[in-house]
Chain A
Amino acid sequence: SQTIHQWPATLVQPVGSPLSLECTVEGTSNPNLYWYRQAAGRGLQLLFYSVGIGQISSEVPQNLSASRPQDRQFILSSKKLLLSDSGFYLCAWKGREGGGNQPQHFGDGTRLSIL
């Protein structure tokens, strides 16, 4: 079966510090991968998605970046965090088989607090 791992679960960082959040998927090949951010009590905002190694699409201009160095690894990074980067960061994957009706499956998320 397929599983998705996201870490860390909780992170507290000072303003101006760098960030690296990692997401890995097991049990599937060539998945579509996604990073979403959710502010407290709000909806899910798509940040980045990837349909293959090295292929990244950015949805919102900001000081975050994403990379996909391996087929099942998706990394969210920042060089200098802002207060507004606080939130709940969710990684998700979707299988290629079955087409567009396949659901996205989410990791447990990382709760990021910027001080």
Chain B
Amino acid sequence: GQSLEQPSEVTAVEGAIVQINCTYQTSGFYGLSWYQQHDGGAPTFLSYNGLDGLEETGRFSSFLSRSDSYGYLLLQELQMKDSASYFCAVRTSGNTPLVFGKGTRLSVIA
């Protein structure tokens, strides 16, 4: 089977930096993705890592280490609007659906 582990909840202060980790055990690996979901909304795509290293998109960065089956999402200069659930997801081959972790609920406090 496939499993992705990420913390269930994280709390951080506005303006700070927070890192959300994800470890995975899957039968195949074709990249790690991150999605953001606000309460009542649909998940929206944030980032994708197909190779080892860091990908940066504005305040958000994502990292992958395939040898460690590990990745993280880094959010900088946190804003109140970043309060949401964040999901890591793995595709096990090119044409298969994403398998999602259970999500990390991020609360940004003043």
Chain B interface bracket (under 10, 10 to 19, 20 to 34, 35 or more): 20 to 34
Q: Which residue of B lies closest to A104 (CB)?
A: B98
* B interface footprint on A37-59 (CB within 8 Å = 1, 0 otherwise): 00001111010010100000001
User: Residues on A close to B: CB < 8 A?
Assistant: 32, 34, 36, 41-44, 46, 49, 51, 59, 90, 99-101, 103-109
User: Residues on B close to A: CB < 8 A?
Assistant: 30-31, 33, 41-45, 48, 50, 87, 91, 93-103, 105
Q: Are A43 and B87 in contact (CB under 8 A)?
A: yes
Asked, given contacts A100-B93, A100-B94, whether A44 binds B100 with beta carbons under 8 Å apart, the answer is yes
Q: Are B48 and A108 in contact (CB under 8 A)?
A: no
Q: How far is the CA of A32 from the CA of B2 in the complex (A)?
A: 21
Top 9 A-B residue pairs of the complex, sorted by shortest distance between their CB atoms: A100-B94, A43-B102, A103-B45, A106-B42, A44-B100, A100-B30, A49-B97, A43-B100, A106-B43
Contact of B42 among A41, A51, A108 (CB under 8 A): A108
Q: How far is the CA of A35 from the CA of B72 in the complex (A)?
A: 26
Q: How far is the CA of A85 from the CA of B83 in the complex (A)?
A: 28
